[in-house]
Each structure stands twice: as C-alpha cells, then as structure tokens.
Amino acid sequence: MKVEVEWKKVVKPSAPTPHHLRKLKLSSMDEPLPPHYTGIIFYYADNAENSGVDIVQRLHRMEESLSQILTIFYPLAGRYIEDGCFIDCNDHGVEFVHAKVDARIDRLLHGKPYPDLLDGLSRFPRELAGNPLVVIQANVFECGGLVIGLRMTHKIADMYSMAMFVSSWATACRGNTHEIVRPSFELSSIFPMKESSFATGSEPCVSDESSISPSKESSVATGPEPSISDEKLVTNRFRFDGKVISKLKSLAVADAPGSTADNSPPSRLEVVSALISTALVDIDHSKHGKLRPFVISMTMNLREKIGLAVPANSFGNFATVLYAQFGRAMADGSKLVFKEAVSVINEMLRKSRARYARVEEGEELSTMVKDSLTEFMEHATSSEKHFIAFSSWCRFPLYEIDFGWGRPTLVGLPPVSFRSVFLMDAEDNEGIDAWVTLKEDEMIPFKREAEIQASTS
C-alpha cells in the first residue's frame, strides 16, 4: 500500500486578518506544553451516498471552505514565534496536501493499523518554528474512498479546540456557515503568562531541542513524534460495544453498592478504563514477577468545570491531567480486581472535579495545571512504576464531521509515541473504541487477555 503526494499548497484566509488581531500571546496553559503535532484521521468509505461526487470537486470545495473558515480561526493561519511565545497571525496559511493511495480503503477499515502507512496518511513538520501550525492531508483511494489526516500543534490547541475547528470547517464545506459558533481567543487574557517569563535569557516556552527558527519557511516533511521511550511501540484498536459496556457496568456494581462513592452507576469511561487497567497490571505482573506500583493518568477538559468565568467555546489549551495510584486496590499483592479499579478511577474523577470546581483564582488554576504536567513526566519516565496514560475524546462530535458526502465510517489516530490509551466514541455513540499503544512485548499478551478478548471486537 503506497501513498504518493500529488500536490501540496498553502491555503490562506479568504480575507486578511485585521491589524489589531495580528499578535496572539500564548496563555499560561499553553506555556508548558511542547510544540509537538497531535493528530486525528477521518475515514470516508465510498458508498452509494457519495459515489457520484467528483473527487476534484470535493478537494476544491474543501480548499475553498478551509480558506473561508481560516478568517474565523485566524491564528491557525499564523506562525509560532518562539522568542516571545506568541502567534504571529500573519495569514501565511495552513498546508493542504493531496495524496493518492494505491489500494482500497477497506484494507484500512477492516485490518489492523499499519504505523508506516498511518504516518504517510498524515504528514507533519519535524519542528514547529517557521512551519504551518496545521497540516491537512486528503488521501484518495482507488475505490473513491477518502481519508483526511489532520495535524495541529499542541502548543496552541487541545483536542476540544481541534474538534471545534474541524467541525466548523466541515460545516462551512456544506455551505452552512451561519451555523458556526465562533471560537473565543481570550484564554491568554484570562490566564496570562507571567511577565518574568519574558525576561532576557529565559526560555519560558517548551520547545524541541532542534527547534531553531529558520530564515524561511520549511517544507512539510514526515518525521517521528518526539518519544519518551526508545522501545518500539505498536497501536491496536479495540471496540467495546454498547452491550458489553452495559454488562461491565452491572458487573462493577454487583454485590458492591458502594463501588462508587455517591452510589451512582459507573460511566462508560470508568468501566472501560478499569478493564484495560486490570489487564495491564496482569501483564506487568507476569513480566516482572511482582506487582509494581501502578499509576494511571487521565486528561480532563476544564471548560464548564470550574467556577471562573471562561467562555465555553474557548480555543486553546484548557485541560489538566489527573492521576490515580492503585495502592489499596492491590493491597493483597495478587492482582488488580475490576470492581476495585472502577472504584479508584471513579474516586479520582469525582475528587478532581470537586477540587478544580473550588478554584477561585486564575493563577492558582495555572499552577495546578502546570504541576499536573510536571507530574506526568515524572511518572512517564520512572522505571520504578508501571504507568499508562489515558485520554478520553468521548463526547466530542467526531462522527458528525460531514463535509457534504456523509459522516465518517471510522475516526482514528495516527501513530502515538508513548504508551497510552485513547478512548473515543464508536460510531453509534454507545460503544467505545480504545486505541491502545504498548510495547511490542506487551501488546501480544494484552490481545490474549481473556477479559479483553471477551469484551472487544
């Protein structure tokens, strides 16, 4: 299966950005984040609903609507200025790539993910300085299927922001610009970086070691994401359907009315995360011959979860990282029990929501978020602990991304460079797709775990 680039171009906003909006400072939430590119891939199978739509017309309409939407999401057409930590909203544009794939899309929809192929479907720059903040690649298959790979730098946007952008773009592509909710770019005003960060000689913004501002814009090239592990990682998708999740919820509360502190039924997120956690603990126990301290992290979107006045449609990084250590749940030294894992994850989420809801000052919130990211790296680089990073993209309307030829058949991830579990809604919004990235010697036993085999497809 070969991916060949047919052409690439820079798409600029259809109208110039007003001079008073030319400079967008990073917020204190953006400051500690690395400039790596995060991504998502949308798969559109060729079917009776869209088979008559000419691919050239599709690409033209996508490009035209992208130019229109960039007047609303104008910072994305700018460039990151590392010296000063801001976005120069100079309308230099985003990269739009058209590629052809010499295969049928069914091979991707019904087969296992191939890292090299997925990288080819979603290219991105090796460094941020001087390059587009957004890279979009439209991949056309022999059968007429279309795969859209989107990459956006994490330095200025979280997944909520990325979903807001691509949803607005798809809406504009359908000609429904009146339905678009305009994003707010006020986070840097509400959570400003400290003036001391701009002192001469300081380096407040996290950057790649190789991120040196070039004298001219670099062309986009495929490159590996910076990794916190030297070992080879593999990614597989595991689908938990709605019926299985209902059974897991029942199992979590059976003979354990206090399995959640407020006696509410556990969520889809909690039971799926707990089942995956129990499998990973078993594998690690077998590998090391003992139960090591097990820690999970989980991202939490802060929009509408805090008492501070922050617009719900805020664009930027506005999330934090939560942690849970399964100490009491593994006190007997034998294994992690599913019900106990559900209880630990529920407690983590419940207490964290209450803690963040009590925050009254923006500086206090910024400190909490920064501390959570520091703790992430400490756990992720520790050889004494067994650590896995969970991230939930559930409830984002990713399966509603319709550019005018129907909703996606599948929404997935490009390769990820650290051990992680990304949870996303399945197409029916009842099930969950878990995109699990593990070391090669972990993935084989994980796929063979009885509970995983019985619960996934």
Sign of the torsion formed by the C-alpha atoms of 149, 150, 153 and 157: negative
Q: How many CB atoms lie within 10 A of CB 46?
A: 22
Contact residues for 267 (Cβ-Cβ < 8 A; gap 6+): none
Helix axes 242-253, 338-357, angle to 10 degrees: 90
User: Between vectors from CA 161 to CA 160 and to CA 166, what angle results, nearest 5°?
Assistant: 100
The structure tokens listed for 440 are 């090669």
Active site residues: 154, 402
Beta strands in 217-290 (DSSP E): 233-240
How far apart CA 167 and CA 148 sit, in angstroms, is: 13
End-to-end distance of the chain based on CA atoms, in angstroms? 24
Contact 206, 45 (CB under 8 A): no
**Distances, alpha carbon 170 to alpha carbons 3, 33, 61, 289, 406, in Å:** 24, 28, 10, 51, 11
The structure tokens listed for 269 are 């997120």
- Buried residues in 180-197 as b, exposed as e (16+ CB within 10 A): beebebbbbebbbbeeee
Contact residues for 437 (Cβ-Cβ < 8 A; gap 6+): 233, 234, 235, 415, 416, 418, 419, 420, 421
Please report, as a single letter, which amino acid is at residue 161: S
How far apart CA 181 and CA 168 sit, in angstroms, is: 8
- Buried residues in 313-324 as b, exposed as e (16+ CB within 10 A): ebbbbbbbbbeb
Q: Cα dihedral angle (427, 158, 65, 124), rounded to 10 degrees?
A: -100
Contact 433, 113 (CB under 8 A): no
How far apart CA 57 and CA 285 sit, in angstroms, is: 55
Contact residues for 436 (Cβ-Cβ < 8 A; gap 6+): 235, 236, 237, 238, 276, 420, 421, 443, 446
How far apart CA 453 and CA 423 sit, in angstroms, is: 17
Contact 436, 446 (CB under 8 A): yes
